[in-house]
Amino acid sequence: CYGEKNLENEMAVRERLALHAEGVKLPAESPTERGLEGDADLQFLLIGGELIKIRSRSWKKNRLLKLQEDCKTFWHESHRIFKKSHTFSIDDIDSVRMGRQSEGLNKHTDPSVEDQCFSIIFKGSKRNLDLMAHTREDAKQWVKSLNKVISSMRNLNCQQKSEHWIINCMRKADKNDDKKMTLKELKRFLRQINVEVDDTYAEEIFKTCDKSNSGSLEGSEIKHFYGLLTQREEIDVIYGKYAQTEGQMSAKDLLDFLLKEQREQVSMGDVLKLIEKYEIDETAKQKKHMSKDGFLMYLQHEDGSILNPAHKRVYQDMSQPLNHYYISSSHNTYLKEDQLKGPSSTEAYIKALMKSCRCVELDCWDGANGEPVIYHGYTLTSKILFRDVIKAIKEYAFKTSDYPVILSLENHCTVDQQRLMAHHLISILGDALVVKPLGNTMPTNFPSPEELKGKILIKGKRLNKLDAVFTNNNTIEEEMVSEEDEAADCKENGQKAKPKKSKIKLAKELSDLVIYCKSVHYSGFEHAKDNQAFYEMSSFKESKAFNLAETLATAYIHHNMDKLSRIYPAGSRTDSSNYNPMPMWNVGCQIVALNFQTPSKEMHINQGRFLPNGFCGYILKPEFQRSFSSTFNPNKLTDGPWLQRKIISAQQLPKLNKDKAKSIVDPLVRVEIHGVPTDNASKETHYIENNGFNPMWNERFQFNIQVPELAMVRFVVEDYDSASQNDFIGQYCLPLTSVQNGYRHVPLLTKRGDAISSAGLFVHLMLIDV
């Protein structure tokens, strides 16, 4: 284990691979070589233990689970002959849930063992690990220990993640575990970290570091090699320009850097706080200086991130009417895959809600034994109980965000099962369910997200006007209502031939739960203006919505100033692909529903849109989309500011083909602007051959941007391939209004939107209002 002994300097000691956030210490040697000291929870996982793995009522097997010496990889016993790997990384874990909180445990275990059960939920499509401990105390210990180590790993800064990753690669290269590195092992290590060098260059590095001429590197020689490997020339240049005081940055030097390069409005007091926060050399700190190591620490923490730290919390005004916000919205939320034969799952709802999705869809149909079910009608998708979905929503609706959740009902049930739906909604959701308007008088506009905190709204058909709540008027305007436009659209696309506007009988009990989101058919913007109440909203198929956005953009924007609009993918998207949400946001549509289960560029843009404002699922629309005096049209614009950006370098890009030892990436970076039509643009760097560890491009781009309030910036890193389509490596997307100027680090995410540990870009950005 290449630990503190091999990286003996103050920075490595303080910023090492220690899981410091919770006091967890990574062993300096392997557990077999020294006593396990430090944190009891970490020690518990390193020792491991036997658990019962549960697959079905009949498949329940004892299996050993333990954390390996790298404190990042779990090994678990497997009896499958062709199982390639018995390990998984902490990075693969999405969450750990105590109790029977997964579909498998809920279905295959009895309520009596609730306290002994827990689940490890993985990112992406990897199957959950459903486990049962032998005692309640053991289960609590496992969950507590797992959550502590996961939390600590996620709280590592860029420097710590980088060192952790490099040292793990060193450990893998050291096949005989002798804590030394031969030339052969060094070459293996370089391939592990995604860099290919010719044999002559590798030998030169080796000879430079092998001061003892022993034929292997150890101790301080490995430290020397590590220093050469991790030297950041681009940082040296920037630091050298401003380090004008005894070879270091004085407080004044740092202030100059922040004002000139980072374009930050800071004072000397702010500078001193940064030095106190990031400087790791006590002598420099006493002089009020920032060393190069301290400067690198600053750049790799949130203050040096591309995302404005102030936007990581809720910073927008949340007291405006609900329709003044973009709302993170999911389509066919119950599906895990395609919409023809894919499985339906309560897990899909949980994952969407944990990603701060605030509008989920429930396609409700008559089920067996009088219990309504959810699935994609007229298809082979599997079915789940309506009540199980409502239970999952109750449990997970407000784990990530306190702001309201909208349940978009596609109701195809008979009256009796609709009454049962209403019963489940009321009995399970309790006080969280909005069953009448806020206040004692008939409202004239929406309440705000702030007023609706912790509340759940029902979107669906209603038999009468909302004022009936206050007049005690039980008159029903019509007993039969048309199906949702989306249901008709699905039938239209051949999933089953029926009349497009078939009617269903609506149960009053369910109708009465629809308060602020009454579904009505769209009959034109003028008709809506003259006849629709604020709470009456329409759903638009993507083709209809895109056409309106192109031909009647200003009218569409004005429609959305006092009403809600929901957009959904066309029924012909049987593979659950997604449309581009940007044109819909450009005209102020709030509920732009996408298939969360499908990783795609469109989902990256959606994730980026809702990344700021505390990742709460609500983003306040620009003022010109909220004021009736606005004449804004995204299709007719004049010149605006321009954005200049320089892609400097990348660090620790992942290998794409880990099974091939010599597979090294040839990375390039593409920068995309997504916004109003005239702002859409894309530019890319050249590719770097055989270097995914520290490629450097130093390429400058300029974009003219007319509506920065709507623009999204997306960075995409790809592995160049001359013979076929480039392979995806990582991406990051965020609103231009949340970008920090100057030299910034950009984290990278997988195709599914999960963080790639230790990987990132280093860029320089400048937004200038001409």
Residues 129 and 107 in one domain: yes
What is the pLDDT of the chain when averaged over all its residues? 87
**370 and 416 part of one domain:** yes
Q: How many CB atoms lie within 10 A of CB 260?
A: 12
Please list, residue by residue across 487-505, b when 16 or more beta carbons sit within 10 angstroms of its beta carbon and e when fewer do: bbbbbeeebeeeeeeeebe
Mean pLDDT of 413-426: 97
Strands 73-76 and 60-67, bridge-based pairing: antiparallel
Same domain, 197 and 283: no
Select which of 376, 559, 674, 764 is catalytic: 376
Is the predicted pLDDT of residue 714 greater than 50, yes or no? yes
- Least confident range from 74-78, 345-349, 407-411, 682-686: namely 74-78
Last residue of a domain, one of 125, 155, 185: 155
| Tens of pLDDT, residues 203-237 | 888 999 999 999 999 888 888 888 888 888 999 99
Question: What's the whole-model pTM score?
Answer: 0.87
CB 694 within 8 A of CB 650: yes
User: Domain end: 213, 230, 247, which one?
Assistant: 230
Residue-wise pLDDT tens digits, 29-42: 333 333 334 689 99
pLDDT of amino acid 7: 28
Token representation of residue 533: 């109440």
| Residue numbers belonging to the annotated binding site for Ca(2+) | 332, 361, 363, 410, 664, 666, 690, 719-721
Residue 337: pLDDT band by 50, 70, 90 thresholds? confident
Q: Specify the pLDDT at position 571.
A: 85
Are 384 and 513 members of one domain? Answer: yes
> Alpha-carbon dihedral of residues 296, 299, 303, 309, nearest 10 degrees?
-140
443 falls within a domain? no
Integer-rounded Cα radius of gyration of the chain = 28
- Cβ atoms of 448 and 455 within 8 Å: the answer is no
| Same-domain check for residues 504 and 611 | yes
Phi first, then psi: what are they for 365, rounded to 5°?
A: -135, 160
Token digits of residue 628: 């009736």
**Do 237 and 349 have their domain in common?**
no
566 and 715 inside one domain: no
Domain assignment present for residue 346? The answer is: yes
Residues 374 and 357 in one domain: yes
Q: What is the pLDDT of residue 641?
A: 62
376 is catalytic: yes
pLDDT at 72: 83
Task: Check residue 31 and give its pLDDT.
Answer: 33
Task: Verify whether residue 134 is a known catalytic residue.
Answer: no
Q: In the structure encoding, which two tokens stand for residue 731, read together? A: 């991406």
Write the burial class of residue 207 (CB in 10 Å: 0-12 exposed, 13-18 middle, 19+ buried).
exposed
Please report where in the chains the tokens 């089920």 appear, as a residue. 367
Does position 519 have pLDDT exceeding 90, yes or no?
yes
**Is 312 contained in some domain?**
no
CA distance 463 to 446: 20
Query: Which range has the worst mean pLDDT, 85-99, 373-387, 554-568, 628-642?
Result: 628-642
User: Alpha-carbon distance 746 to 612, whole Å?
Assistant: 15
The strand pairing partners of 373, in sequence order, are: 365, 385
* Mean pLDDT of the region 737-746: 96
Binding residues for substrate: 459, 461, 539, 566
pLDDT over 90 at 378, yes or no: no
Ranking 449-463, 509-523, 745-759 by mean pLDDT, the lowest is 745-759
Beta strands in 270-324 (DSSP E): 289-290
User: How many whole angstroms separate alpha carbon 672 and alpha carbon 680?
Assistant: 8
State the CB neighbour count (10 A cutoff) for residue 271: 24
CA distance 147 to 45: 11
The total of structural domains in the chain comes to 5
Contact predicate 335/346, CB 8 Å? no
How far apart (Å, rounded) are the C-alpha atoms in residues 752 and 125? Answer: 10
Last residue of a domain, one of 155, 171, 188: 155
Asked if residue 128 is part of any domain, the answer here is yes
Residue 316 covered by a domain: no
Binding site as annotated, residues:
332, 361, 363, 410, 459, 461, 539, 566, 664, 666, 690, 719-721
The span from the CA of 408 to the CA of 386, in Å, is 13
Quote the pLDDT of residue 640: 55
352 shares its domain with 485: yes
What share of the chain in percent tops pLDDT 90?
66
Q: What is the DSSP letter of 23?
A: T
**Structural domain contains residue 222:** yes
Nearest-angstrom CA–CA distance, 451 and 403: 9
Let me know if residue 637 belongs to a domain: no
**Among the listed residues 710, 714, 699, 695, the one whose alpha carbon sits nearest the alpha carbon of residue 753:** 714
What CATH number should be reported for the domain holding residue 402?
3.20.20.190
Residue 224: per-residue pLDDT:
86
pLDDT bin (cut points 50, 70, 90) of residue 638 is: low
pLDDT, tens digit (0-9, with 9 covering 90-100), for 561-574: 999 999 999 988 88
Domain identity same for 217 and 264: no
Q: What is the CATH number of the domain that holds 187?
A: 1.10.238.10
Amino acid residing at 330: S
Residue 565 lies in domain: 322-437+448-462+481-621
In a domain? residue 565: yes
Q: How far apart are CA 206 and CA 94, in angstroms?
A: 40
Q: How far apart are CA 161 and CA 81, in angstroms?
A: 34
Highest mean pLDDT among 247-256, 379-388, 660-669 belongs to 247-256
Of 331, 674, 745, 764, which one is the catalytic site residue? 331
Determine the Cα–Cα distance for residues 421 and 231; give it in Å rounded to an integer.
62
Coil, strand, or helix at residue 671?
strand
In this model, does residue 277 exceed pLDDT 60? yes
For residue 603, name the pLDDT band (cuts at 50, 70, 90).
very high
The one-letter amino acid code at 453 reads: K
**What pLDDT does 405 receive?**
98
Q: Once rounded to an integer, what is the mean pLDDT over residues 60-78?
A: 87
Same domain, yes or no, for 243 and 208? no
Residue 660's domain is classified under what CATH number?
2.60.40.150
83 and 184 together in one domain: no
